[in-house]
């Protein structure tokens, strides 16, 4: 392995961040984890303990602070936390993953703000910088091939994508850009702590299952729901364990620094295949992907109206199906294959989500 890194990690208490933290420690690196909430830190410590980490008392250091003040606070922090001054790599995973703007200006405030602040920090304390971005900085480009380079400003589906694109621009060619697609649960355990995006459709089907059990006059095998998206399109889902392990392996090698990497699935399941699997699981029938531009069938009753409302908010996830080129990633990770998204993996991921009541039951 390459020389151990001393990594300043942001977002280490998040869904992906916990795995990044675990993999960095597992591979012998020293981590300085910036955090803001004691309870989230405790959850992360519990998660790490379940994996038998950290193995050495010197390998993990926590320090509490406000990310958006990191440049102003740096001198104070490095005086307060002995050894922080030695960090040589910054892995920036913290982000607001809100898709639509709130009254506090999120997600732009955190996502663009932190990119600017960390630039100021790196001027004070030079280090290699690695940004966790998203493959969807490409915007709305259905069925087009997207390459591992900086994209021009696109037709963004939501302000979150725009905020991540702007953050990339701030660091263009001066940071390694790690672009995961839609991150889902662990391929071996299903574990997930952030049930957004792709999970919503299956949550809607699960809701339909529960509601239609109560309504005896409702034909659950003939729902007649047409979703206006292509059945052969595929939401690019990728298990969190792959994203994390791939990210750590990529940044360990200096040859990869300052390049762009798609941490995406080369063979994601089609919408229809996934939906068939889920309908079978819930014993429901009559939901179809009717093709792009097809009319959304009108709800006929209260149950359908509830499910409709949920589905309409997620339609974009199923309409935007870029094909992500992975040349840089495949070159960098020739000996680290992507786990296939088998039916077994999808069942595991969905079962875990149900067990956790789609995120309402705690991780």
Ligand X SMILES: NC(=O)c1ccc[n+]([C@@H]2O[C@H](COP(=O)([O-])OP(=O)(O)OC[C@H]3O[C@@H](n4cnc5c(N)ncnc54)[C@H](OP(=O)(O)O)[C@@H]3O)[C@@H](O)[C@H]2O)c1
Residues at the interface with ligand X (CB under 6 A):
11, 13-17, 36-37, 40, 67, 93-97, 110, 132, 134, 164, 180, 182-183, 194, 197
CB of 180 to ligand X, least distance (A): 4
141 or 306: CB nearest ligand X: 141
CB of 303 to ligand X, least distance (A): 29
Longest dimension (CA), the chain: 69
Give the CA dihedral 41, 47, 52, 57, nearest 10 degrees. -10
34 or 225: CB nearest ligand X: 34
Cite the beta strand spans of 122-211 per DSSP E: 128-132, 145-146, 176-180, 182-184
From the list 175, 180, 186, the residue with the least C-alpha distance to 19 is 186
44 or 230: CB nearest ligand X: 44
DSSP state of 177: E
CB of 188 to ligand X, least distance (A): 18
How many residues would you count in the chain? 363
Residue number, nearest CB to ligand X: 14
360 Cβ neighbours under 8 A, 6+ residues apart? none
To 10 degrees, what angle do helices 343-355 and 198-214 make? 70
185 or 220: CB nearest ligand X: 185
93 or 274: CB nearest ligand X: 93
CB of 287 to ligand X, least distance (A): 23
14 or 54: CB nearest ligand X: 14
CB of 33 to ligand X, least distance (A): 9
Q: How far apart are CA 326 and CA 339, in angstroms?
A: 15
CB of 114 to ligand X, least distance (A): 7
From the list 225, 223, 249, 211, the residue with the least C-alpha distance to 338 is 249
């Amino acid at each position: 392995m390459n020389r151990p890194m001393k990594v300043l990690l942001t977002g280490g208490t998040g869904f992906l961040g916990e795995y990044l933290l675990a993999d960095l420690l597992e591979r012998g690196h020293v981590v300085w984890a910036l955090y803001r909430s004691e309870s989230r830190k405790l959850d992360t410590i519990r998660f790490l303990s379940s994996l038998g980490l950290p193995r050495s008392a010197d390998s993990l250091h926590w320090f509490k602070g406000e990310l958006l003040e990191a440049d102003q606070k740096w001198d104070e922090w490095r005086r307060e936390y002995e050894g922080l001054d030695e960090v040589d790599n910054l892995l920036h995973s913290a982000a607001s993953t809100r898709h639509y703007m709130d009254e506090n200006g999120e997600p732009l405030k955190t996502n663009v703000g932190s990119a600017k602040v960390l630039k100021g920090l790196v001027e004070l304390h030079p280090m290699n910088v690695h940004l966790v971005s998203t493959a969807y900085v490409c915007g709305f480009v259905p069925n087009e091939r997207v390459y591992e380079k900086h994209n021009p400003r696109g037709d963004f589906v939501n302000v979150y994508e725009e905020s991540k694109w702007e953050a990339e621009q701030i660091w263009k060619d001066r940071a390694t850009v790690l672009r995961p697609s839609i991150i889902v649960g662990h391929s071996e355990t299903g574990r997930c702590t952030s049930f957004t995006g792709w999970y919503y459709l299956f949550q809607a089907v699960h809701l339909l299952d529960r509601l239609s059990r109560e309504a005896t006059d409702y034909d659950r095998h003939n729902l007649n729901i047409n979703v206006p998206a292509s059945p052969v399109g595929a939401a690019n889902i990728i298990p969190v364990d792959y994203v994390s392990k791939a990210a750590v392996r990529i940044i360990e090698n200096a040859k990869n620094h300052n390049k762009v990497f798609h941490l995406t699935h080369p063979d994601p399941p089609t919408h229809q295949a996934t939906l068939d699997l889920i309908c079978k699981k819930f014993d429901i029938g009559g939901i179809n992907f009717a093709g792009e531009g097809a009319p959304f069938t009108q709800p006929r009753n209260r149950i359908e109206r509830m499910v409709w409302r949920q589905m309409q908010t997620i339609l974009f996830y199923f309409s935007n199906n870029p094909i992500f080129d992975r040349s840089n990633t495949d070159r960098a990770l020739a000996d680290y294959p992507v786990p296939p998204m088998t039916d077994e993996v999808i069942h595991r991921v969905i079962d875990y989500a149900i067990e956790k009541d789609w995120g309402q039951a705690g991780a």
